[in-house]
Chains A and B, each alone.
Chain A
Amino acid sequence: MSKTETSHDDHHDHHHKETFITKYIFSIDHKMISKQYLITGLIMGIVGISMSLLFRLQLAWPEQSFGIFDVLLGKWATDGVMDPNVYLALVTIHGTIMVFFVLTAGLSGTFSNILIPLQIGARDMASGFLNMLSYWLFFISSALMIASLFVEAGPAAAGWTIYPPLSALPQAQLGSGAGMTLWLLSMAVFIVSSLLAALNYIVTVVNLRTKGMTFTRLPLTIWAFLVTAIIGVVSFPVLLSAALLLIMDRSFGTSFFLSDIFIQGEVLHYQGGSPVLFEHLFWFLGHPEVYIVLLPALGIASEVIATNSRKPIFGYRAMIFSILAIAFLSTIVWGHHMFITGMNPFLGSVFTFTTLLIAIPSAVKAFNYIATLWKGNIQFNPGMLFAIGLVSTFISGGLTGIILGDSALDINLHDTYFVVAHFHLVMGISALYGLFAGVYHWFPKMFGRMLNKNLGYIHFWITAIGAYGVFFPMHFIGMAGLPRRYYTNTNFPYFDDLANINVVITMFALIAGAAQLIFLYNFINSMFYGEKTEQNPWRSNTLEWTAPIKHIHGNWPGKIPHVHRWPYDYSKPGSKEDFIPQNIPLKKGEKELQH
């Protein structure tokens, strides 16, 4: 480690000139790459959330004419009435963008990049070049996904899970032509990008920790990012293989996922494959993906809640253990998405068992957060509001998982709006809150300025009311038996009494959507005109706040600070201040907690 230090110090003495291109575009500095991830993620987020508002309009007022459809959807909305094909396309791309582009790359990419080197005390990522490459691959895959919106027959429309044969056969639906090809290409590039990024994160955390930064002194954010990267490395290649096999079936006539198909008056040649195989491969990534999205958010929440409660995170070791337990279990529960696919019922029993076990480490995490608040001195900075909101939706959404993870109950609730409500609360809203908590908390570190707190408060409270207003009533629609991905339910008089609920949900969605504009305004405005930050605005213990506000190559001008304690010495008895940064040596006679 000392070797890297000296070499970097040398490096600093003779500053090489940076051009605009090396500084802002093809940057290999983790701080710039982190900003690139965040801004790309936010742009994709605007696209993804706007799409959801469009199809919510259709669901509340089915087959009615809206001027906005005419403007945005063009030929897909004759006289302003949304076409069923485009409804499915919107649902599909909304899911894809939010899960992968916003909550995987946007969340993990941003905060792993900014925080890993700064919080462990490293000059940069292990490989700056790979880091740059992974961002640019992410950028290319985003561009491909956006490009797919403009192909003649429309983008992919088979649902974000793209189950074949629907996704494999262009005859089966409009979106399964060029749109699906672009989707698959985009995802293949995305996976390569995630893998490069994840490998880089793992190597950096394992090798480049500063002196004294043992694994049991790592902030929980870093633990979460490390474990997330490991899950990604284990599971993303499987999705890549599924995507490649699907490309083979689509373009080269193989039969991995297809068999005995008769469509549009023709018997196809495919023989012997099985769509269920695709489902296994997809969900082997798909379920860990939930935790790839959620763990970084929980890591951020741990850090933000401890700092703003002015208390150590309760049960640090239990938190690490529960992250590891969740990560391990997440790789052996994928079958709970497949209880009714025709999978052997015995396997269903096994997956029910493993799935419900996840509730135990999750419960430990939730209770530890609550215990951290207890007898704290809570500072309601905007990040803290979102972190508390995250714990709330994580509990509400997680609890209904106990129902859906139970195979006997999943029979009747599978693919209904109950599922939509469940996963939006537990991974959608929770992870989005994690993203916001992170942005409000580390904005000063990223941009050297503060976000306006009053706008932050308004943003949070409207979003919080909107989110519950959307997803709480949605459970009822699901329990009424309404399937998801229906363009309209007017063809079933039986569901006529759900129309009012759909209107209520859409109203809340529009309100919550509008609240995001407040955030966007705050973000852009504060980036340029926000109040300049102090060195350590939240009086936090972690190392990133010891680095200078102005970003420099190598993060610290002189030596990298050494670490002498864990990151959660808040309000420690015997100390005058209510926080003791990690780089402050132990006082004489001060005992370090056995962590």
Chain B
Amino acid sequence: MTKKLQNITDKLPPLIALLGFVLIWQLVCFFKIVPSFMLPSPIEVVLAIINDFSTLLHHGKVSLIETLAGLLLGIILAFVMATVMDRFVVLDKAFYPLIIVSQTIPTIAIAPILVLWMGFGMAPKITLVVITTFFPITVGLLEGYKSVDKDSLNLLKAMGADNLQIFYHLKFPRAMPYFFAGLKISASYAVVGAVVSEWLGGFEGLGVYMTRVKKAYSFDKMFAVIIVIVIISLLLMKLVKEIGKMSMPWLNLAKNENVNQK
């Protein structure tokens, strides 16, 4: 009961802040403090979402596919890179600076080049998502692998464990919280990455739709797209959080709580 109450009191302040923000926005528009062609009111935005729903859904689906495909490939790439770099110190030394450099390249600058190389289809978008997402996951995993203490390593060695067993029983599980922390950041980058790459060329996707409505000065529709992007990002982050909770049941346990016997 108290937990439920705590839950409500925890969620109340951000909810009030959000409602307050929307209310002020509505009032600013209602009293025409900002002209309506520059800033559509929240009600107009909601109406745009409702009227454009099927179009938004269609483009949203395309962007989501690009995001998820890029994220998945990013995870695989990050996992392979981090694991190999952790195993062979020389590769860690060789590639770590390169990985850092890859993050200083502005996405917006590289996206048109990718479009030139790969065409207007999904490939350049997915590639861009991979570039933006693999970094936080790689760094997270590397840090996680390195967080394993020497005593635990010695203990497993004393049991006669080989490198693969040490990785499976000790290193990877220890790195999991770091992995999910990185993945959460990546998930929010991924959607933005997909949309940015769509701005610069393509036929479908929220970014494409956004440039289209921008040219028509339909600001209400633009805001509608932004809201959809925000919602997708939030849902994705929530999904990552839930998957993390499910795959790491040993975190946040109460002392006498019973766990399943699997």
A and B together in one complex: no
